[in-house]
Structure 1
Amino acid sequence: MGLIKLIILAALVWAALRFWRALQQQRTPQHSSQQPQTDAPVMVRCAQCQVHLPQSRALRAGDQWYCCAEHRDEHGNS
């Protein structure tokens, strides 16, 4: 009778360890996918037409960003 209890206990411990490892593997990719990517360019919005574009291609006037010189000039004169 003692040997059967030992086998059942070992099987329960084994199943619990497998379940815990499966949970850990599922959580790991979720956390890594939620982290911001450093390769993505910083995006800004044009103050005139509201289009998003990379900051490297945008024009800045004061604290506003613009997609082109025409929008910068139009919004500045308004």
Structure 2
Amino acid sequence: MTTMTISTITLEGVTCANCANSVSNALHSVQGVENFDVDLFDQITTITYDDDQTSSSIIRSTIEQSNCDVH
């Protein structure tokens, strides 16, 4: 049986649409991420994922590696 987890992560430094797109692209690459919403205004992302396939630490690391260099 698949266990889905919902996690909200603060996005520090994500201040523009290009940053939000970088985070979105990074999250699309994580196996097990089923759904996510990047909220640019509140600088958070809410992610639904299969915790048998990924973990919060993997997701956080992937987001951190998706730096936005446009500023």
> Is TM more than 0.5 here?
no
Under a length normalisation based on structure 1, what TM-score does the superposition of the two structures give?
0.22
More relative contact order, 1 or 2 (CA 8 Å, 6+ apart): 2
Pair member with larger Rg: 1
Greater helix proportion: 1
Greater strand proportion: 2
